[in-house]
Structure formats: C-alpha cells, structure tokens
C-alpha cells in the first residue's frame, strides 16, 4: 500500500455565462491523474503553467473541490466530496505556499502565525505555546526573538521559513510544496531547498514538490510526474525521466534546460533543433484530436509514458 495514492482524479470547473448564467462548458483543470508516493520520498510534479499541477496539489489537501476520483492517504480515502477532512489527517498533511508575501497574514505577529495550527489542534498554555514557537523558529533558522515581529519585517526567504515553521508545527507526515522557491531570489532558492532537504531527514517527511523548474526537481526528487493540460504525460524515477525520456513533450522540456557551460552551447542548440523537429513531426500521433495526452503505458516497473 503506497503512502499516498491518487486515483483517476478529476477537477473540473464550470464556466457560466449567458442570460441566465447557466453552465456553458467545463474547464478540465485536472483530467484523470493517477499517482502514488512512498513514505520518505520526494515526488516532483512538473508542468508548464496551466498544466494542472497546482490544482492537483490543492485537490489532495482539500483546497480545490474534487469532481471525481479518490485520494488515499495511508489507505484512507480523505477527499470524498461533501465531507470534511478528518482532523487526524488534516494534521498529517500540510502545505508550503508559493508566495511568501500573501501566505502570511500581514496583520498577525509571527507568534500568532506559527501558533495557529497549534491552537487548532493542541491545547497548550500560553507559556508552552511560546516555547514551541521559539523552538520551531530556531529549527527553521530564524531568531527566537522574532516572535513579536510582523511579516513585513522579514525578507522573502525568511518569510518562506516562517511558512515552513507553520507547516511543520504539527509534525506532519506529508508536505505539499507548491513552487516553494519560485518567488524567491535565485541566491536564496538553494538555501531554502537545502533546508527543506534537511528537515525532511530530521522529521521523516514525504514531499510532493510542485514546480516548473526541472533543475529544482532533479535536485530534490526521487520520483517525477510530468503534466500537460491536466493529464500525465510521463512518470518515472528521476533517472528514468532524465536519462531515458520517452514522450516528445518530456524530451522537449528537458532540452530546454539551460547549461552554464559555454563550450556545450552549440551541441545543445543542435539537440534542441533535433527535438523540435521530432516534436513537429510526431505531434499528431503523440496527442489526441483535442491536443491532450493519451493514457499512460508502462515501459518498465517504474517508468510509464503516454505513448501513442
């Protein structure tokens, strides 16, 4: 039994309009996603904007309503529509948000922000609560003195650490990190990512990392899923994807990763040309009439792709 299993997940949004505001068509943000994550792993979800990766993450944690499908967390269905997530599961799954500016309430002190989950789940005395918050802040590398400060007094990287402190306050098992560093300066990105790796070991966390940046994904993840227009295009271990890409869309994504070594510039340009030519040529057969990917086909035990 996998730690987290998502089966045939559909998230559709109605588009309303017309004189009587009726449903006119649906936007298929997520259209049949399967994924399975083992405990302690980091699973990377990659795709361009609008591919449905963020919606998938939000659907798992219950922020986006699920149209159909199931989300099994440790074998328990946690996302049946119309029911609230059981509190025990709510504690175990937390989220790190993309924008460190809007994800912290500007009117709240750090103490109130980090203590919010504790106040909901644990009845602590004010003293005990403060001690825990200070401890958490130290854990994420911030000064314990900052508990009375407001979010605007911190830099982006520091704010993201506050967000992480809030996420780990309840000692969760799974953390969904939605583009956790894309709003940060490049110089700070590596810091935050390495720090996320450290606390993963420390707290035995499982990550679902959502990103559009293949460099980050390669650095962080053991297992990767690639999404395009709400569907999976390819999934496999990091080695499967980076060394043996099968789908033309994956190949194209990989060829777009910049290389800092100028001597390889020409080689890379040639490779891109070849991949592009292949993409143009086989586009029709790799995607269906609506331009969507086909169902996944297994290639090896770990590797599958949406081949024609």
Partner 1 sequence: MWKTVARRTVIMIPQIFLLSILVFLLAKAMPGDALTGLLDPSIDPAAIEAQRERLGLNNPWYVQYWDWITKAVQGDFGQSFRFKLPVAELIGQRMMNTIWLSLATLVLTYLIAIPLGIISGRYHDTWADRFITGYTYLGFAAPLFIFALLMLWVFGFHFGWFPTEGSVTPGTKPGTWAYAASKIYHILLPALSMALITTVTTVQLLRSEIIDTKQKDFITTARAKGASESRVYNRHILRNSMLPIAAFFGYEITGLIGGTVFIESIFSYPGMGELFLSSISLRDFSVVTALVLLYGAASILGALISDLILGIVDPRIRIK
Partner 2 sequence: MGNTYGKRPEADRSPSGWRILWREIVRDKVALASFIFLGLVFLAVYGVSLVLDQKQIVTVDLFALNQPPSADFWLGTDYGGRDVFGQLIIGTRNSLSIGIIVTLLTGLIGVLVGLVSGYFGGTVDNVFMRFVDFFMILPTLMVVIAFVTAVPKYGVVSFSLIMTAFLWMGIARLIRSKALQERELDYVQASRTVGSSHFKIMFAQVLPNLSSIIIVTMTLNLAANIGLESGLSFLGFGFPESTPSLGTLVSYARNPQTLEFRWWIWLPASVLILVLMLCINNVGQALKRAADARQRRG
The answer to whether residue 260 forms part of the interface with partner 1 (CB under 8 A) is: no
Taking the complex as a whole, the smallest distance from the CB of residue 16 to partner 1 amounts, in Å, to: 9
Residues 6+ away with beta carbon under 8 Å from 269: none
Nearest residue to 268 via CA among 277, 256, 284: 256
The answer to whether residue 22 forms part of the interface with partner 2 (CB under 8 A) is: no
The answer to whether residue 75 forms part of the interface with partner 2 (CB under 8 A) is: no
Judged by beta carbon, residue 18 or residue 82, the one nearer partner 1 is 18
Taking the complex as a whole, the smallest distance from the CB of residue 21 to partner 2 amounts, in Å, to: 9
Judged by beta carbon, residue 25 or residue 131, the one nearer partner 1 is 25
Taking the complex as a whole, the smallest distance from the CB of residue 18 to partner 1 amounts, in Å, to: 7
DSSP at 210: E
Which region, judged by CB under 8 A, interacts with partner 2, from 120-128, 189-197, 237-245, 250-258? 120-128
Counting residues that bind partner 1 (by CB under 8 A) gives 4
DSSP at 265: H
130 contact choice in partner 1, partner 2, none (CB below 5 to 8 Å, kind-dependent): partner 2
Cβ contacts of 215-220, under 8 Å, gap ≥ 24: 215/257, 216/181, 216/189, 217/44, 217/46, 218/242, 219/193, 220/42, 220/44, 220/193, 220/196
Residues 6+ away with beta carbon under 8 Å from 220: 42, 44, 193, 196, 197, 207, 209
CB-CB contact of 67 with 48 (8 Å): no
Retrieve residue 18's tokens.
């017309």
Judged by beta carbon, residue 82 or residue 106, the one nearer partner 2 is 106
For the segment 11-30, give every residue that binds partner 1 (CB under 8 A). Answer: 17-20
Counting residues that bind partner 2 (by CB under 8 A) gives 39
DSSP at 298: E
Which region, judged by CB under 8 A, interacts with partner 2, from 71-79, 125-133, 214-222, 242-250? 125-133
DSSP at 152: G
Taking the complex as a whole, the smallest distance from the CB of residue 11 to partner 1 amounts, in Å, to: 23
DSSP at 215: H
Which region, judged by CB under 8 A, interacts with partner 2, from 41-49, 149-157, 200-208, 286-294? 149-157
Binding residue (CB under 8 A) for partner 2 from 17, 87, 295, 308 = 87
The answer to whether residue 127 forms part of the interface with partner 2 (CB under 8 A) is: yes
DSSP at 293: B
DSSP at 303: -
Taking the complex as a whole, the smallest distance from the CB of residue 14 to partner 1 amounts, in Å, to: 14
The answer to whether residue 122 forms part of the interface with partner 2 (CB under 8 A) is: no
Which residues bind to partner 1, rule: CB under 8 A?
17-20
């Amino acid at each position: 039994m996998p730690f987290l299993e998502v089966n045939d997940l559909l998230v559709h949004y109605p588009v309303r309009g017309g004189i009587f505001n009726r449903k006119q068509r649906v936007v298929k943000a997520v259209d049949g996603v399967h994924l399975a994550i083992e405990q302690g792993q980091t699973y990377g979800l990659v795709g361009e904007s609008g591919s449905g990766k963020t919606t998938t993450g939000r659907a798992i944690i219950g922020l986006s309503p699920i149209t159909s499908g199931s989300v099994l967390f440790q074998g328990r269905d946690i996302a049946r529509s119309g029911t609230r997530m059981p509190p025990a599961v709510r504690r175990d799954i937390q989220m790190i948000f993309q924008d460190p500016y809007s994800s912290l309430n500007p009117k709240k002190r750090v103490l109130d922000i980090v203590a919010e989950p504790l106040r909901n789940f644990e009845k602590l005395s004010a003293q005990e609560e403060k001690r825990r918050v200070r401890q958490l802040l130290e854990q994420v590398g911030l000064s314990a003195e900052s508990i009375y400060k407001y979010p605007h007094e911190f830099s982006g990287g520091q704010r993201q650490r506050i967000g992480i402190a809030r996420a780990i306050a309840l000692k969760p098992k799974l953390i969904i990190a939605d583009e956790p560093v894309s709003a940060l300066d490049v110089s700070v990105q590596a810091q935050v990512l390495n720090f996320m790796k450290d606390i993963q070991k420390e707290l035995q966390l499982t990550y679902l990392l959502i990103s559009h940046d293949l460099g980050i994904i390669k650095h962080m993840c053991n297992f990767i899923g690639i999404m395009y227009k709400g569907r999976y295009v390819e999934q496999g271990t990091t080695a499967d994807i980076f060394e043996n890409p099968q789908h033309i869309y994956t190949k194209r994504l990989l060829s777009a990763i910049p290389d800092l070594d100028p001597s390889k510039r020409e080689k890379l340009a040639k490779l891109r040309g070849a991949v592009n030519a292949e993409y143009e040529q086989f586009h029709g057969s790799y995607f269906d009439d609506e331009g969507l990917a086909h169902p996944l086909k297994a290639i090896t035990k770990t590797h599958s792709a949406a081949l024609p």
